[in-house]
Chain A
Amino acid sequence: MPGLVCRSLKTVAELEKTMILLVEDNPDHELLTVRAMKKNGIAEGLVVARDGAEALDYLFGTGSYEGRDTKEQPQVILLDLQLPKIGGLEVLKRLRADERTKLLPVVILTSSDEESDLLEGYALGSNSYIRKPVEFEHFIEATRQLGLYWLVLNEAPPLSRGKEV
């Protein structure tokens, strides 16, 4: 039913290219997040960085990601705040400071609901702030909506579409 498809919805080809960068240090949470994504069918093209430094390496094509084509950028970054080496807020700050990544959609996904984290997250240019619910059904639902919104409904900034720019 192509006629019914919303104009903004991406084609299947586009969807295959889409990437989610999950920055998460807790292997249990990684496991559960991946599971939730699989359940919602958005686990394709998922990249996981285990700490802030790795996330930045990936995004800027440095360190172990030396040589990665940085024109290819994830469609959304799911960023935890409590990360070893470089904290989530610091990662966000550096992302926003760099030309290549300053427009990338970032969703903070964290256990903390401290007001200060919320405020600072938004102040540094986060696009969304989601508190991980303890109840897993809620998390699966949140993941589903996240995927739908950021990967399907949302128009990413031109940069993440790579060569098309």
Chain B
Amino acid sequence: MLDPTSFRRLLNRALFFPVLLLLTLAAILFYQIGDLLDAAYWVEHTDVVITQARVTRRVAETMPGYQRLFFLTGDPQYREKFNLARSEFSKQIQKLKDDVKDNKGQKQSVVAWENEFHRYLEIAESEMAAFVEGKDYLTWVRRGEDEQAMEALRSHAERFVATEAGYSTTRSAKARHSGQAVRLSVLVLALIFGTILGFAIRKQLLDLGQTYVVALKEVQTQSQEIEQQSKHIRELNTGLEERIRQRTTELEASNRELEAFSYSVSHDLRAPLRSIDGMSLALLEDYEAALDDDGKKFLQRLRANSQQMATLIDSLLELSRLTRAEMRREPVNMTALADEIVAEIQARQPERKVALDMQEVPDTVGDKRLLRVALENLLSNAWKYTAKQPEAQIVFSASEQEGKTVYAVKDNGAGFDMAFYNKLFGAFQRLHSVNEFEGTGIGLATVQRIIRRHGGQIWAEGEPGKGATFFFTLS
């Protein structure tokens, strides 16, 4: 995979490499063009030197003319012109010397040239001095020594120019070659560098492309995996929904069955009980004379039992109804509800003296009807199990534990043994005999169901003879 850092490095390389390549190209061309310019300079320089040599030679050549004119006319102006030419020559020869100072051979040639001039000058000066003094200058002239020196100078000059001209040809050729070399270099280097650059860029692009192809493949693989996973999840979901539907159907079916069952319990179990009770009463009433006291007692026990069973059935039905009934959530004022229930309980047994401590407790949200049943059971239990306590006390309170409201119904009645705690909330489980305290053993089971349906919890603490406390939370 290509991370941003290595991508930046790649980009830098892509920039740096061409720049380096072009710089190299430029350096090579720069060098070659310098060479070319140099060659061109030397060609031009040769021309300058040749011209200078010619000018110098011509100046020297004018001097014998002035010399002869002076001899002929004796006019000092020619002597003057001769002197001027002489200083002009010195100037020009110096210039020429400067021009060829780098070329040893030519410089020597110029020095030889100058020597010949001095030789001529010496002779010419001597002749002219003899002329002025009126001595025999003609013999000297006839000897032609000055003429020879001048001729030597001329031949030196010609050789010099010829040499220089030879240089010119060589240098021109060199310049031409240089120019061709530059053109060729540009072509070849441009071709080579272009190719290198092209290949380098091609390679980098290919590498990059390769990297992206790999990355793309990876992404494709991943997206395929994700697609497969989500498909799998969808399938799971569908399966789950299907299962939920199935379970719901099953649950609904079992709920219907349960309803049918309790309906049938309600009707079919009660019907024979009615008969038993009715017949027993008929016996008691219509055959009173034929029955002794024991007989009557048995019949009465029969009736009491059938009635007890009817109560049990009713409690059971009530329990199943509470479990099935739909929850209607609404705000419930628990304080008011408890007060109401206690007032009703008290009204049923106004003769009992119970110290009631009904505290202010937080409101809740829940099914008021169900909560009423639960609270009624708990408060009735407290009421019932304190019946044998001369100073009965019942406390309804609430506290805050771990952010939850915990309601508590506390009494100082019969209590229970914690050893039997696991039987406390079971249906038809009783911790006291009917003789002690009447009841069906369904009350706490009912309470537990109601609390659980509210998402709450119920638990209890108790001690035989000291009382019990029931705690519960509501979600």
Q: How far is the CA of A111 from the CA of B273 in the complex (A)?
A: 11
Contact, CB under 8 Å: A112 / B267: yes
Inter-chain contacts of B278 with A (CB < 8 A): 28-29, 31-32, 35, 136, 139
Contact, CB under 8 Å: B281 / A137: yes
Instruction: Answer whether residue B251 sits at the interface, using C-beta atoms and an 8 A cutoff.
Output: no
Contact, CB under 8 Å: A32 / B266: no
Chain A: minimal CB distance from B248 (Å): 21
Contact of B282 among A26, A35, A82 (CB under 8 A): A35
Instruction: Answer whether residue B277 sits at the interface, using C-beta atoms and an 8 A cutoff.
Output: yes
With known contacts A29-B274, A32-B274, A32-B275, A136–B267 Cβ distance under 8 A:
no
Instruction: Answer whether residue B310 sits at the interface, using C-beta atoms and an 8 A cutoff.
Output: yes
Instruction: Answer whether residue A114 sits at the interface, using C-beta atoms and an 8 A cutoff.
Output: yes
Q: How far is the CA of A136 from the CA of B282 in the complex (A)?
A: 9
Contact of A29 among B271, B280, B310 (CB under 8 A): B271
Q: How far is the CA of A100 from the CA of B267 in the complex (A)?
A: 31
Chain A: minimal CB distance from B86 (Å): 154
Contact, CB under 8 Å: B281 / A136: yes
Contact, CB under 8 Å: A134 / B266: no
Contacts of A109-151 to chain B: CB distance below 8 A: 110-115, 132-137, 139
Contact, CB under 8 Å: A114 / B263: yes
Chain A: minimal CB distance from B385 (Å): 26
Contact, CB under 8 Å: B274 / A113: no
Contacts of B249-298 to chain A: CB distance below 8 A: 263, 266-268, 270-275, 277-282
Contact, CB under 8 Å: B277 / A134: yes
Contact, CB under 8 Å: B271 / A111: yes
Instruction: Answer whether residue B32 sits at the interface, using C-beta atoms and an 8 A cutoff.
Output: no
Contact, CB under 8 Å: B306 / A114: no
A 42-83 binary contact with B (CB < 8 Å = 1; else 0): 000000000000000000000000000000000000000110
With known contacts A28-B275, A32-B275, A114-B263, A134–B282 Cβ distance under 8 A:
no
Instruction: Answer whether residue B307 sits at the interface, using C-beta atoms and an 8 A cutoff.
Output: yes
Inter-chain contacts of A111 with B (CB < 8 A): 266-268, 270-271, 274
Contact of B277 among A81, A113, A136 (CB under 8 A): A136
Inter-chain contacts of A31 with B (CB < 8 A): 278
A 15-38 binary contact with B (CB < 8 Å = 1; else 0): 000000000001011011001000
Contact of A134 among B263, B267, B270, B317 (CB under 8 A): B270
Chain A: minimal CB distance from B92 (Å): 144
Chain A residue at minimum C-beta to C-beta distance from B311? A134
Q: How far is the CA of A132 from the CA of B277 in the complex (A)?
A: 12
Chain A CB count within 10 A is highest, among B270, B274, B279, B317, for B274
Q: How far is the CA of A132 from the CA of B281 in the complex (A)?
A: 16
Inter-chain contacts of B317 with A (CB < 8 A): 113
Contact of A136 among B272, B274, B321 (CB under 8 A): B274
Chain A CB count within 10 A is highest, among B271, B278, B310, for B278
Chain B: minimal CB distance from A106 (Å): 19
Q: How far is the CA of A32 from the CA of B270 in the complex (A)?
A: 14
Inter-chain contacts of B263 with A (CB < 8 A): 112, 114
Chain A: minimal CB distance from B101 (Å): 135
Contact, CB under 8 Å: A32 / B307: no
Contact, CB under 8 Å: A135 / B275: no
With known contacts A32-B282, A35-B282, A135–B267 Cβ distance under 8 A:
no
Contact, CB under 8 Å: B267 / A28: no
Inter-chain contacts of B282 with A (CB < 8 A): 32, 35, 136
Inter-chain contacts of B310 with A (CB < 8 A): 134-135
Contact, CB under 8 Å: B277 / A26: no
Q: How far is the CA of A149 from the CA of B274 in the complex (A)?
A: 23
Chain B residue at minimum C-beta to C-beta distance from A26? B271
Chain B CB count within 10 A is highest, among A28, A31, A111, A132, for A111
Taking A111-B274, A136-B277 as known contacts, 11 extra A-B pairs with beta carbons closer than 8 A to each other, sorted by chain A number, are: A29-B271, A29-B274, A29-B275, A29-B278, A32-B274, A114-B263, A132-B270, A134-B274, A134-B277, A136-B280, A136-B282
Residues of chain A having any CB pair with chain B under 8 Å: 26, 28-29, 31-32, 35, 81-82, 110-115, 132-137, 139
Residues of chain B having any CB pair with chain A under 8 Å: 263, 266-268, 270-275, 277-282, 303, 306-307, 310, 317, 321
The 8 closest A-B pairs by CB, nearest first: A134-B310, A28-B275, A32-B278, A136-B281, A136-B278, A111-B270, A111-B267, A112-B267
